Amino acid sequence: MGARSIYACALLTLLVFSSFAQQLDIRERLYLHLNSQTLISGETLYFSAFNLSDKTGKLTDMSKILYVQLIGRSGPVFQKKIPLTGGTGSGDFFINSLIATGNYQLVAYTQWMKNFDDQLRLPVLIINPFEPYPSEQPLSGKVSFSLIIPHEKIVAGIENQIGYRLTDGYGKPLRLEGRIMDGNGHSVLSFSKAEHGMGHFLFTPKPETDYKVIVEGDQESFHFFDLPRPVMRGASLVLTERQAAWQVHIHSTLTHDTPLTLRLTSMQEEIHKQTVYKGTLVSLQKTNLQEGLHRLELYNGTELLTTRWLVHSTQKKLQTDTMDYVYGNRDQVKTDLDLPPGEYSISVRKMNDHIGERMAHAMDNLFWFNLLNIENAHCTHDNVLTGNTHQFRTPANIPETVALLPECRNEIIQGSVTDSTGQPVSSATVTLSIPGKPFQLKTALTNETGKFSIHFKSPVRKSTAYLTTLNTAEKMQIRIENKFLSTAPPFDYNVPALDSAQLAEVVAKSIRVQLENTFFQKPPTTSDTVLSNPWMPQLTEFDFHYPLDDYNRFPALKDYFVEYIACATIQKDRIRIRQNLYRPDFNKSQLIVLDGVPVDAGKILSLNPYEVKTIGVISNRYFLGPSIFDGVMSIETYEGSMGGYTPAVSLKTELIGLSVPPAGHPLTHGYRKGDPRPDKRDQLYWKPVAKKGGQPYPLSFYTSDVDGLFMIRVEGFSSEGKAITIKRAFRVE
């Protein structure tokens, strides 16, 4: 990329950022569709990525690269760079037997998102049946009771809206009844069995009174839990969802004539503000609300009394359609999917019989993207009313400046240059070199604070890159921004306990996976794809070109310049390029590269000449990015690996290759009837990106030898930005 292109791109970025900042349409939001969030050794984790505008919900083309990490207790298990085209991309990862059993978090983000501390995190449970399962098994019959207090504290004398969750010792939801008792043993209120072990109740505690929750377990057992002691001063906002509006009931310990201010904001934009009093009932019409997270704040003057989230969604409650037909083994399944125009990901997979599945749906992408504690995977439309202020990540204020540029065309390396005293160096030429056949060479100039940005094409496999500064009297230090997270977000890595039925299911599934990997030849994954690097050769228009095999060979590289290469000379044991036409104003430095890596004009003479394939010389002025050179020499070895020469560079780093998915369908068909080979696939179909026009989408696949309940899951987004989730269950017998 030339200097003008780089400056134009930088100017465009600033203009776009300024324009977007005015419209508040500068943030990206991610959704990942996973084939499963519970896997065992030998399976492959497939994922499809959808990069959306956080304002419109439509796919955005702002970023071209997605960064994905699977992080465990001991650190990252894998790190991948996924290319995004039109806002979509896909990848996969094989779960080998060296990966330990544990809870892992899948973290995904673009470089642009890091400016706002935005990221998507999803929990993934991996079970390795070849190692002992962790033995910290809770006792059966244990009951856990957790409170969700939207306004943080229980306030005495006013109505409080409180959520709760009931689980057993294995983390499974419990549908149990309970009641609240005061200090005198009197029953204050009762709550009935709640769906998914979650519910909420309205509670008005008395001042200076302690309360207990009593949950009635099975076999006439009772479990006791203390409620936090109510505070004497405060306020609460009680939410009620109606068909056309959200109702907000104002409760406060202040007097009825004290004026209060209720504010409703979304993405730091105030969308509603009014004066209210104790007991006021406010109706917020749904037609005036955008889909997403809204923050309710209640003020007494400048004092913030309480705050909570209102999570508004225009989507209907997710339901599962059951297909009437029961299929046999190795039957063909054909069905039409009625989808609006858009882009979707399709998975057909066996449902677990006993091990719970935690699935993030496209319709719930707003919740998942903004969840702080992703272990609370139950946070969906079923518990909107009990989402507390600490449940969701507060969107950061939009900064006036950004540190990281969006990778809207190519990958970007950003960093800084300092001298030996640690002071920033301005106007220094920094080069990025990726050796190979062909090599890639890029340059940049540091700004007044010593920072630089280099745009380059991502390699498709792991590559060594060299960064160095040119024409400096002293050795400079280069630091670059880490593309992947250096510190993992907080997460509970403890594995859930498994009962005997779940352990038996793991064993049965492990046998199926081993048979599948033995007999079923899977299509290539992204790690199997071998491609050439996506860039053209540089420095090809030479004024002079010398294939050394066309000449008699000499034992020293210096001899070639004496005998053959007349366009360059050796002066004081240093190579000097002769200019075609002498001009006094041509006084810029010269550049000598070995397989694309800048080298010292004197030290390069020690290179073994038998490793050199060609020497090319440009004896005129040459522009490389923002840098100008009065003469360039390119020395290329046979292997493109510098022939064992060690360059004196400022920084050597490893670049993770771009995970380019293979062409075609990763998973579609298995073995037909009559084939003696066993077909033990749980994953019957996977298509990461399916573009949909105006016609029904024809879905066709074959069942396997595995019986049970299977689920067709379609996740994606319409061209209008509407999240689409379709679930269809069918049985194989």
Mind listing the pLDDT tens digit for each residue in 26-81?
Answer: 889 999 999 999 999 999 999 999 999 988 889 999 999 999 999 999 999 999 99
Backbone angles phi, psi at 505, to 5 degrees: -65, -35
**656-687 tens-digit pLDDT:** 999 887 655 556 667 888 889 899 999 999 99
174: amino acid identity, one letter: L
Task: State whether residue 698 is helix, strand or coil.
Answer: strand
pLDDT in the model for residue 195: 64
Query: Which element (helix H / strand E) includes 366?
Result: helix 365-370
pLDDT in the model for residue 534: 73
Quick check: 721 pLDDT over 70?
Answer: yes
Angle at Cα 187 formed by Cα 186 and Cα 190, nearest 5°? 175
Helices and strands: H and E segment counts in the chain: 4, 43
Q: Span 77-106, mean pLDDT?
A: 93
pLDDT in the model for residue 509: 95
Residue 298: alpha-carbon gap to chain centroid: 34
pLDDT in the model for residue 356: 75
pLDDT in the model for residue 105: 94
Q: Among 144-148, 196-200, 208-212, 397-401, which is the least confidently predicted range?
A: 397-401
pLDDT in the model for residue 425: 93
Quick check: 219 pLDDT over 60?
Answer: yes
Max alpha carbon distance in the chain (Å)? 106
230 confidence band (pLDDT: 50, 70, 90): very high
pLDDT in the model for residue 372: 63
Q: Among 122-136, 574-588, 658-672, which is the least confidently predicted range?
A: 658-672
**132-152 tens-digit pLDDT:** 877 654 445 678 888 777 777
Q: Which of 104, 42, 16, 27 is nearest to 68 (CA)?
A: 104
pLDDT in the model for residue 159: 94
Assign residue 475 a region: left if phi > 0, alpha if psi is -120 to 50, beta otherwise? Answer: beta
Residue 372: both structure tokens together: 């702080």
Q: Write the DSSP symbol of residue 4.
A: H
Q: Span 609-613, mean pLDDT?
A: 93
Average pLDDT, the chain: 84
pLDDT in the model for residue 609: 93
Quick check: 448 pLDDT over 80?
Answer: yes
**516-542 tens-digit pLDDT:** 888 876 666 655 555 667 788 888 889
**12-28 tens-digit pLDDT:** 444 444 444 445 578 89
> What's the CA gap between 398 and 402, in Å, rounded?
9
98 confidence band (pLDDT: 50, 70, 90): very high
Quick check: 403 pLDDT over 70?
Answer: yes
Q: Is 687 buried (19+), middle (13-18) or exposed (0-12) by CB count in 10 A?
A: buried
pLDDT in the model for residue 524: 60
Q: How is 307-340 classified by DSSP, letter by letter?
A: EEEEEE--SPPP-EEEEEEEE-TT-EEEEEE---
pTM (predicted TM-score): 0.82
Q: What ranges make up the beta strands (E) of 457-494? A: 463-470, 477-480
| % of the chain exceeding 70 in pLDDT | 84
Q: Which of 680, 682, 675, 700 is nearest to 690 (CA)?
A: 700
Q: Is 11 buried (19+), middle (13-18) or exposed (0-12) by CB count in 10 A?
A: exposed
Q: Span 249-258, mean pLDDT?
A: 95
Q: Among 101-110, 357-366, 383-392, 649-658, which is the least confidently predicted range?
A: 383-392
Q: Among 498-502, 619-623, 717-721, which is the least confidently predicted range?
A: 498-502
Helices of type H across 534-649:
557-563
Quick check: 201 pLDDT over 60?
Answer: yes
**329-342 tens-digit pLDDT:** 999 999 999 889 99
Q: Which of 144, 155, 162 is nearest to 386 (CA)?
A: 162
